[in-house]
């Protein structure tokens, strides 16, 4: 048995035990818009709980339970913990599979390069482990010496990691390490064969320094769905065209070009001050039997759904209205973290 069979970083489509949500409450940045954003969280929670386990990290379990009326609560675990914010993709644990056993890796989360407070969020995964939220046989490993967010990496499940230089080489994350050192760390930690770096592509209003999950996503080991901008007047046009050119140069482990599926550039969405928000259709979540796709109240929603149905012919594509989420500069994938079988 080779190393890849013994240890690998599963792709998101790997069978899941469940998904984590960190629930919005009055002490988070969601407070002014709680009434608008809670229905979005509830809609996501209902779709997850209908298919698999749902872990909700929350400020008040009884309050969250009341807000989830109509959800299949027998599939939901509530865990009260302090949190700065609700972006579970980036403060949640990342799971390896080693010898058919899940290993939960807890990386340092520092608020996307020291932009926002993260003292509570950084402790959530280890606190969940200490409270025995995960299955008994799980291995827990602290990697608090290395800053990494789940939204910054994409795995094909076969030893390839896709990421961006803009994020992983950010000086306020692991600035003491060179690109070569970071790449070797990722290869060693995740038992990878290679790291594919994307040097171009961004979204205005993005706080994450170009997380890959806002730009380009593996749909299977041979397929990448990515954001395409066709409007030459859009300020994103040149950078996303350059990213598209990079993706066209990449090859699979078998040396073949990837099947590239362009997702439409989401319509311009502005905050109250007129600043553009990072709406993106690449921020979808794969769960057991379905894909949850952010919708933004645009005709392009249906276009994006059709693209993803091509990518995932055997899964139901479910649109979730995410206009309230994008007001805090993130979307559907950003607020979730999936856990493979054997974790929850």
CATH code of the domain covering residue 212: 3.75.10.10
Q: Is the pLDDT of residue 4 over 80?
A: no
Per-residue confidence (pLDDT) for residue 29, from 0 to 100: 86
Separation in Å, CA 90 to CA 74, 150, 244, 246: 26, 5, 25, 25
Q: How far apart are the first and last CA of the chain?
A: 27
Per-residue confidence (pLDDT) for residue 207, from 0 to 100: 94
Structure tokens at 87: 């972006």
- Per residue in 277-320, pLDDT (tens digit) is 999 999 999 999 999 999 999 999 999 999 999 999 999 999 99
Mean per-residue pLDDT, 98-115: 97
- Per residue in 196-206, pLDDT (tens digit) is 999 999 999 99
pLDDT band per the 50, 70, 90 thresholds, residue 70? confident
Separation in Å, CA 15 to CA 166, 203, 264, 290: 30, 31, 28, 11
Mean per-residue pLDDT, 26-33: 89
- Per residue in 207-261, pLDDT (tens digit) is 999 999 999 999 999 999 999 999 999 999 999 999 999 999 999 999 999 999 9
Range with lowest mean pLDDT among 71-75, 123-127, 290-294: 71-75
Lookup result for tokens 């995960």: 134
Kindly give the pairing relationship between strand 101-108 and strand 139-147. Answer: parallel
- H/E element, 242: helix 237-249
- H/E element, 77: strand 76-80
Q: How many whole angstroms separate alpha carbon 50 and alpha carbon 193?
A: 36
- Per residue in 156-198, pLDDT (tens digit) is 999 999 999 999 999 999 999 999 999 999 999 999 999 999 9
Q: Which domain holds residue 42?
A: 3-340
- The total domain count for the chain is 1
pLDDT band per the 50, 70, 90 thresholds, residue 5? low
Angle 263-265-266 from CA coordinates, rounded to 5°: 110
Q: Is the pLDDT of residue 3 over 50?
A: no
Mean per-residue pLDDT, 125-131: 97
pTM comes to: 0.96
């Amino acid at each position: 048995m080779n190393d890849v069979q013994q240890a690998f970083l599963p792709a998101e489509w790997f069978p899941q035990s469940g998904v984590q949500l960190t629930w919005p409450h009055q002490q988070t940045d969601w407070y002014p818009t709680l009434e608008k954003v809670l229905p979005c969280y509830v809609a996501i929670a209902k779709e997850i709980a209908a298919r698999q386990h749902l872990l909700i990290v929350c400020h008040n379990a009884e309050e969250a339970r009341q807000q989830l009326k109509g959800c299949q609560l027998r599939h939901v675990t509530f865990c009260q913990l302090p949190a700065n914010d609700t972006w579970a993709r980036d403060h949640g644990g990342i799971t390896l599979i080693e010898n058919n056993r899940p290993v939960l890796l807890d990386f340092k989360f520092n608020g996307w390069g020291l932009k926002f407070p993260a003292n509570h969020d950084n402790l959530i995964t280890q606190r969940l482990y200490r409270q025995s939220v995960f299955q008994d046989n799980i291995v827990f490993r602290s990697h608090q010496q290395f800053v990494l967010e789940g939204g910054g990496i994409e795995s094909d499940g076969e030893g390839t990691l896709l990421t961006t230089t803009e994020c992983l080489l950010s000086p306020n994350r692991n600035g003491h390490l060179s690109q070569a050192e970071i790449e070797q760390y990722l290869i060693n930690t995740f038992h990878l064969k290679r790291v594919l770096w994307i040097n171009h592509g961004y979204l205005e209003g993005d706080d994450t320094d170009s997380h890959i999950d806002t730009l380009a996503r593996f749909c299977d080991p041979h397929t990448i769905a990515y954001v395409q901008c066709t409007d030459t007047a859009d300020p994103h046009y040149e950078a996303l065209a350059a990213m598209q050119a990079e993706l066209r140069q990449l090859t699979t482990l078998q040396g073949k070009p990837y099947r590239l599926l362009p997702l439409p550039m989401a319509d311009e969405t502005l905050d109250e001050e007129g600043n553009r928000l990072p709406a993106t259709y690449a921020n979808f979540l794969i769960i057991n039997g379905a894909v949850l796709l952010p919708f933004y109240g645009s005709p392009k929603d249906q276009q994006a759904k059709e693209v993803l149905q091509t990518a995932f012919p055997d899964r139901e594509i479910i649109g979730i209205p995410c206009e309230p989420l994008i007001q805090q500069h993130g979307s559907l994938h950003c607020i979730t973290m999936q856990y493979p079988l054997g974790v929850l």
